[in-house]
Amino acid sequence: MENKRYLINFLILLPLIYLFLKIFEFEISRYLAVIVGLILNAYYFDNIIIYNKTLFSIIPACTCSFEMSLFLAYVFATPKTPMKYKLIYSSFGILVINLINILRIILILKNAHLTNYSLIHDMISFIIFPTVLILNIIWVRILIKVGIVKNIKINLIDK
């Protein structure tokens, strides 16, 4: 029953959180352009960065709003967990996702001169999903450690 409740909570929260974050995507992309521009000492305006005489646009898809939505829905859907834990861990996770995203954008810009920009972009962008997966695994480990979730071992082989 608890698994069904979690799944229902997750499936309700995911689109709600995503639609909420979607409202702020352009503003987030502008902040990302400012931060990356300052780190790289590059010219930036609005959501545009000029790096190595090349114009880059930080579009709403660059904000990782979907990945943040997955992470937040995963954490907030967890039943029988105090809101304090959810808020603290969510803040930590959002910070980590944004720091990794800034690193991702910097790596893309620094390697944009290589032969196939799309391939470079996609390969470097892949680091976001494993980051969210690792954060979710850490969340479960924390819940096991504090005793909210029981450490259940699943036998895949029938006895």
Tell which residue, 97, 96, 125, 106, has the closest CA to residue 39: 106
Question: Is 104 a residue of the active site?
Answer: yes
> Active-site residue among 5, 62, 64, 141?
62
The catalytic position among 5, 64, 104, 141 is 104
Q: Is 64 a residue of the active site? A: no
3-state per-residue secondary structure call for 15-60: HHHHHHHHHCHHHHHHHHHHHHHHHHCCEEECCEEEECCEEEECCH
- Cα separation, 60 vs 69, in Å, equals 14
Q: For residue 126, give the amino acid letter.
A: F
Q: Which residues are tagged catalytic?
A: 62, 104
